[in-house]
Structure 1
Amino acid sequence: MFHGHVYFGLRNAQLAEDFRQKLIQERKDAIEVFPLVQRLVGPHKMPMFEIHFKNNDNNLIEWLEAERGDMSVLIHPVTGGEELLDHTERAIWLGRELGVFEETLSS
């Protein structure tokens, strides 16, 4: 299982929502696509929306890279119990690497 976090500036919330809707319509391999979170939450340093997917068999990561525009995307595995490693060493970034608030994650 993987999580993707698509980050956006508040002034670009509509652009992020349009991208989220395109993702829902075009990518049936996304298990769940969550609503926009227009505030800081958890370890995230910008507003974002979250995607859950099982694997990259259908090239969802490549699609995100091609379609994300200027938005940054954090993709990380969900290994269970190692949130810090999942969000840092095991993570990949599409676009500018924003980092996370590491102190909020369990190691």
Structure 2
Amino acid sequence: MSRAVVEQRTPTRVSHRRADLVRPRLINYMAVKSFVKGMVELEIRAQHGTYIRELVSGDGGRTDPSLSLLVDSPCKVEVLDVLNLHLDNSEKKDD
């Protein structure tokens, strides 16, 4: 799933504090780094504001498409590490 747009409805885990909206989010890059005993390590580069856990799980259909939907099997995030923040000029804050 690279250069794909997903539609993300406000996740259930934050719906009590955020407006229930559907937001389009660009997935720039997703690649499998390793696959061992049913565990997959992914590298994902996505637009700011993307809910990564929900991108993987689908959050009960609130993210479409999701990795779970694409592989037709339930998926969940065990560990989530943010490796980099990529800011374009419009997103950089002045010091």
The TM-score, its normalising length taken from structure 2, stands at 0.32
Rg: which structure is higher? 2
Q: Normalized per residue, which structure has more strand?
A: 2
**So what's the TM-score if we normalise by structure 1?**
0.30
